[in-house]
Amino acid sequence: MNDLERFRMEKDDSFRIGDQSPLSLEQQRKFTGLNYYTENQALRLELKLERNVHPRKVTLITSTGEDRTYTHIGQVRFEVSGQEAILQVYEDDYGYFIPFIDATAPEETYGSGRYLEPIELRSDILYVDFNLAYNPYCAYNERWSCPLPSAENRLKVRIEAGEKKFKD
């Protein structure tokens, strides 16, 4: 079992029996595991963070209409299937955050987008692993409030990696 398979197995276990599971008790009883794309090595990337000269506060609207404030720190560029893609990178008290929607939504992935939490490897170089792209908690039930991706983070390319749509 590789690291990604182990991570996915542990996540499934935490959803099934964990105290912090986003699932309702009824959902937990029926839960058989999340759906994922096959591991995609091509979407495990080290990307230059193109920092904003003047990072600014931005507000992302949530699935329940609330406002969440982040600092827009810059963007990353990469290629998928020969097409350039650009994603805006935000930061809050928990670290870097990339909410995005790609061309797999809403048929294969959650229609309101998925999330990534890139890791800074060294100064302005981010590790962005789309195999770790995950659904926000509001994908599982309506009791959660989740930030929605900005218009700039709606990609025309398919990101065939990470978590797929939740099937309750």
Which sign does the torsion angle of CA 53, 129, 7, 166 carry?
Answer: positive
Instruction: Please report whether residue 109 resides in a domain.
Output: yes
Q: How many domains does the chain have?
A: 1
Instruction: Please report whether residue 115 resides in a domain.
Output: yes
Q: What is the mean pLDDT of each run of 10 residues along the chain (168 residues)?
A: 94 92 94 96 97 96 95 97 96 96 97 97 97 96 93 97 91
Instruction: Please report whether residue 26 resides in a domain.
Output: no
pLDDT value, residue 18? 84
C-alpha 64/C-alpha 72 separation (Å) is 22
pLDDT value, residue 123? 94
pLDDT value, residue 168? 62
Instruction: Please report whether residue 28 resides in a domain.
Output: no
- What is the pTM (predicted TM-score) of this model? 0.93
Instruction: Please report whether residue 39 resides in a domain.
Output: yes
pLDDT value, residue 167? 83
Which sign does the torsion angle of CA 161, 163, 165, 168 carry?
Answer: positive
Q: In this structure, what DSSP letter does residue 136 have?
A: -
Domain enclosing residue 99, as ranges: 35-153
Instruction: Please report whether residue 121 resides in a domain.
Output: yes
pLDDT value, residue 85? 97
Instruction: Please report whether residue 30 resides in a domain.
Output: no
Are 44 and 78 spatial neighbours (Cβ–Cβ below 8 Å)?
A: no
Instruction: Please report whether residue 118 resides in a domain.
Output: yes
C-alpha 76/C-alpha 98 separation (Å) is 10
